[in-house]
Amino acid sequence: MLACIKVLLLIVGLSFANLVVCNELVLVVHKNNPTDALSRSQLIDLYMGKYVAFPDGARAVPVDIEEDLETREKFYELLVGMPLARVNAYWSKVKFSGRARPPTQQKDEKAILDFVMQTENAIAYVHQNSVTDEVKVVYRFTQ
C-alpha cells in the first residue's frame, strides 16, 4: 500500500514538473534563422534596444505580447529582474528621446507565432507548450 502511494506521488510530482516546464517561457526565432542559441546578455541588448541584432550581425525584430500583460511582466522579470512599470520607465526614456524603437507588438501567442513564422529576423517569447516545428528555440530561462 505504501509503495503504491509512493509511486502515485512520484507520478503526480513528475506530471507537475512536466507542467511547469511546459509553461516556461522560451525565446523563439524563425526556423531558418542561423542563430542556434543566445546568451541572456544578448537578449537584454535585443529587448532593451541596446543592440538589436543577432550574433552574426543581422538586424533583429523583437516582439512583445500585447494583450497578455501577465506573460509580458513575467518575461521582463525573468530577463532584467524589473517589474513592468520600471521596464516601461526605461523604454519611455529610450523611445521618447528618439534613441530607439521599442519591440513590435502582436496581440497574443498565436499572432506572435504567425509573425515569427513569416519573419526571418523576428524573435519572440512564448510558452514552451506553444512551440511548433516552424520555429526554433534559442533560449530557455531554466538553462
Partner 1 sequence: MCQIVPKYFKVIYVMSKCLFLILLVSVSLSNFVRAEADFRVSGFGTIGVVTTDSKDFGYRADFSKTGGVFENDIDFAEGSNLGVQFDIIASEEIDFVVQAVYRDQKELNLDTTINLAFVRYAPNPNWSFRIGRTAYDLFLLTEYRDIGYAYSWAHVPSEIYGVIPHRYLDGVDVTFNKPIGDITFAAKLFYGENEFPLTAYGSSSAGLFRLDDTIGLALDFHSMDWEVAINRTRLKFDSQVAEPLIEALVQMDALVPNFSAIWPNSMAFATDIDLDNRNGIYTSVSGQYRFDSVTVISELSKISSESLGVPGVESGYLSGIYHYNAHNFFTSLAFSDSEEFKLEGINLAALEQVPFGLEAYEGAELLLNYFTINQKTFSLGWRWDFDPNMSFKLQLDHTRIDKGGSTFWQPPAKDYTTLKRTGHVNALFANVSFLY
Q: Given the rule CB under 8 A, which residues bind partner 1?
A: 40-42, 44-45, 50-53, 57, 59-60, 69, 73, 80-81, 83-86, 88-90, 92-93, 95-99, 101, 104
Q: Which residues pair with 25 in a beta bridge?
A: 127
CB of 11 to partner 1, least distance (A): 37
Nearer to partner 1, 99 or 140 (CB): 99
b/e 17-46 (16+ beta carbons within 10 angstroms → b) = eeeeeeeebbbbbbeebebeebeeebbebb
CB-wise, 98 or 133, nearer to partner 1? 98
Q: How far is the CB of 126 from partner 1 (least distance, A)?
A: 21
Instruction: In angstroms, give the least distance from the CB of 48 to partner 1.
Output: 9
Between 11 and 44, name the residue whose CB sits nearer to partner 1. Answer: 44
Kindly tell me which of 32 and 59 has the beta carbon lying closer to partner 1.
59
Least distance to partner 1, CB of residue 116, Å: 16
Question: Do 105 and 63 form a contact (C-beta atoms < 8 A)?
Answer: yes
